[in-house]
């Protein structure tokens, strides 16, 4: 986190949590007079934001658990130790975990930290509503809107991770200490209403000093988040007894949710407050750590230099320390090997998203067909050398403008048809093929022939656009395509390894050398049209079998993608430690955990 708001531990963030979180801090409970002063004074109330963000940044919260484990093992992204199917890390990804998973079954884990953040937000929301003149004070209105939005972020991710969860929209009292799961539809409806209000309270990007940075909530993000939640609420998901269905609540009917998503996305697009960057520029800008609002990043989880594990887990791996990094990390997760071959060779997103090498002793070295790297997050793009052994400090880009555009395309196609939706998909395709308008035109002509064709194009486009950003699993669930797409991926992986089907023409080996700069690797053999004969004739001096298979494998790569039907575990179980401490209120009844 780069702004002064988060660089120090603010006393006010301690004050607002002590009343309901005595386990966290052994300080005396403050009086209501203190709350009256804090929440009527913008400069003090602002500290409540730091209190919530602190809960995001704890080791076992977003930082070291949710971001690395939620969303892995889809047709786009995989756990890079995929073939180790029988350890707790793998179980979190391969749809086969249990309530005692050692990575999650601790009382300070993501579930607890998420509810800690919700409690801090609830206290601030109550305080500002009670003591703050937010209707006449723009600064207090901004803070209230941020609190409503941050609470919505956490609840959205709770539902993504666990399905039906307890609903807490007021500070904890003696009577509400223990709560059962609530129907997620009830929570969705509250979040949609909260975000409708929040959009009226917060400013557009760069409209005020507070919204000049991506580390603070702005109206474009609020509206984008409301659209994302509406699409989830109107979509499919696993319910108790393994029923996959949409909501039965007429307030969450798909047509109503598409209408919300359409309007919110068009509001953002028509505001002119955000803009697309070049695709590689998006991630170079993120890694530059300027936090400038009004570009493609709409909001980021702000990590300090000593917190956060974005590159650490999701970035391009450095196996040794070098001039770019003092930690040898990265590559815990990576692209599904089939993804590289889903892109057109002229798509500029391919080589940013899917990287076939890692760094060793300051030199790029090819990995293997089963261990691709995300190229969106890189130590070498940072303006500083990472020195922490555990964290890299890069912010997590929670939403970007391209997502808003593609959600608009999806919703408008459903409501108004492909011709009306086409301009928005075209925006993304033109960015992907900046020097090839003929391909863009031909593609758009093909996908606008029907609503179904356009929907299928959206399904694929979101894969091409967002691989490595952990959106795919939730997308597949809401489309009722999770099991379908993973089974398709399993077939493709086996075909790719054996060079059959669409991959029959690919060479068996890659051929590589180090460029004249002494660090960049040049690889031949990755593209359709390459051959082993031509590769050998290049005399690069190095070659290797491009394979997912290694000696001692206990399971085929494709068989490790999931070990049972993904639709039987779209969500994680509530962990045993929280069930044991719920006074009998929480359970996993109706799910096969």
How many Å apart are CA 217 and CA 298, to the nearest integer?
A: 8
pLDDT of 497-519, one tens digit each?
Answer: 999 999 999 999 999 999 999 99
* 205: its two tokens: 């990007």
Strands 237-239 and 357-360: unpaired
* Tens digit of pLDDT at every position of the chain (593 positions): 444 333 333 334 444 444 333 333 333 344 555 899 999 999 999 999 999 999 999 989 999 999 999 999 999 999 999 999 999 999 999 999 999 999 999 999 999 999 999 999 999 999 999 999 999 999 999 999 999 999 999 999 999 999 999 999 999 999 999 999 999 999 999 999 999 999 999 999 999 999 999 999 999 999 999 999 999 999 999 999 999 999 999 999 999 999 999 999 999 999 999 999 999 999 999 999 999 999 999 999 999 887 899 999 999 999 999 999 999 999 999 999 999 999 999 999 999 999 999 999 999 999 999 999 999 999 999 999 999 989 999 999 999 999 999 999 999 999 999 999 999 999 999 999 999 999 999 999 999 999 999 999 999 999 999 999 999 999 999 999 999 999 999 999 999 999 999 999 999 999 999 999 999 999 999 999 999 999 999 999 999 999 999 988 889 999 999 999 999 999 999 999 999 999 999 999 988 88
Helix or strand holding residue 374 (H, E)? strand 373-374
- Mean pLDDT (the chain, rounded): 94
**What is the DSSP secondary-structure string of 471-520?**
-HHHHHHHTT-HHHHHHHHHHHHHHHHHT-GGGTTS-SEEEEEE-TTSS-
pLDDT of 555-567, one tens digit each?
Answer: 999 999 999 999 9
pTM of the model: 0.95
Instruction: Please say whether the beta carbons of 460 and 425 come within 8 A.
Output: no
Which residues lie closer than 8 Å to 576 by C-beta, 6 or more apart?
Answer: 99, 100, 105
Helix axes 47-57, 138-162, angle to 10 degrees: 20
Give exposure, 346-362, as e/b (b: 16+ Cβ within 10 Å).
Answer: ebbbbbbbbbbbbbeee
Instruction: Please say whether the beta carbons of 440 and 430 come within 8 A.
Output: yes
Residue with tokens 């009577």: 175
């Amino acid at each position: 986190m780069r702004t002064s708001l988060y660089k120090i531990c603010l006393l006010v963030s301690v004050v607002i949590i002590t009343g309901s979180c005595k386990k966290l801090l052994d300080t005396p409970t403050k009086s209501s007079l203190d709350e009256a002063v804090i929440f009527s004074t913008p400069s003090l109330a602002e500290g409540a934001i730091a209190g919530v963000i602190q809960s995001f940044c704890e080791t076992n919260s977003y930082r070291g658990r949710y971001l690395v484990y939620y969303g892995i093992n889809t047709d786009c992204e995989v756990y890079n130790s995929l073939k180790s199917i029988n350890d707790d890390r793998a179980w979190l990804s391969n749809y086969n975990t249990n309530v005692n998973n050692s990575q999650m079954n601790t009382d300070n884990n993501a579930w607890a930290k998420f509810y800690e953040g919700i409690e801090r937000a609830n206290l601030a929301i109550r305080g500002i509503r009670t003591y703050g003149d937010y209707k006449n004070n723009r600064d207090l209105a901004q803070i209230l809107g941020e609190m409503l939005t941050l609470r919505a972020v956490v609840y959205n991710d709770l539902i993504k991770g666990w399905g039906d969860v307890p609903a807490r929209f007021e500070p904890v009292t003696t009577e509400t200490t223990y709560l059962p799961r609530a129907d997620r539809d009830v929570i969705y409806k509250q979040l949609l209403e909260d975000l409708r209000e929040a959009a009226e309270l917060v400013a557009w990007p760069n409209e005020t000093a507070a919204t000049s940075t991506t580390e603070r909530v702005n109206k474009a993000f609020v509206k984008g988040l409301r659209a994302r939640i509406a699409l989830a609420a109107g979509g499919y998901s696993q319910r108790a007894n393994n029923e996959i269905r949409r909501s039965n609540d007429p307030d969450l009917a798909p047509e109503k949710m598409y209408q919300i998503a359409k309007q919110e996305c068009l509001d953002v697009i028509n505001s002119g407050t955000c803009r697309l960057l070049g695709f590689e520029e998006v991630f170079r800008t993120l890694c530059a750590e300027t936090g400038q609002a009004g570009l493609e990043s709409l909001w980021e989880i702000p990590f300090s230099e000593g917190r956060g594990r974005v590159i650490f887990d999701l970035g391009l791996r450095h196996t040794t320390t070098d001039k770019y990094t003092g930690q040898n990390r990265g590559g815990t997760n990576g692209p599904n090997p089939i993804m590289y071959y889903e892109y057109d060779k002229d798509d500029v997103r391919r080589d940013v998203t899917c990287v076939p090498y890692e760094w060793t002793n300051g030199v790029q070295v090819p990995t293997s067909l089963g261990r691709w790297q995300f190229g969106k997050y890189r130590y070498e793009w940072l303006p500083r050398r990472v020195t922490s052994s555990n964290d890299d400090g890069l912010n997590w880009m929670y939403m970007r403008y391209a997502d808003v555009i593609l959600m608009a395309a999806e919703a408008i196609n459903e409501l108004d048809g492909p011709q009306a939706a086409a301009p928005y998909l075209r925006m993304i395709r033109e960015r992907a093929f900046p020097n090839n308008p003929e391909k863009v035109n031909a593609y758009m002509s093909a996908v606008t022939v029907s609503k179904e064709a356009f929907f299928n194009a959206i399904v694929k486009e979101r894969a091409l656009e967002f691989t490595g950003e952990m959106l795919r699993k939730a997308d597949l669930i809401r489309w009722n395509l999770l099991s379908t797409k993973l089974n398709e991926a399993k077939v493709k992986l086996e075909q790719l390894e054996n060079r059959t089907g669409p991959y029959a023409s690919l060479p068996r080996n890659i051929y590589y050398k180090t460029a004249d700069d002494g660090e960049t690797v040049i690889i031949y053999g990755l593209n359709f049209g390459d051959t082993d004969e031509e590769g050998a004739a290049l005399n690069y001096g190095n070659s290797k079998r491009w394979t997912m298979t290694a000696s001692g494998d206990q399971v085929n790569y494709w068989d490790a993608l999931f070990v049972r039907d993904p639709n039987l575990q779209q969500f994680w179980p509530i962990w045993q430690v929280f069930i044991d401490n719920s006074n009998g209120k929480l359970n996993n009844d109706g799910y096969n955990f």
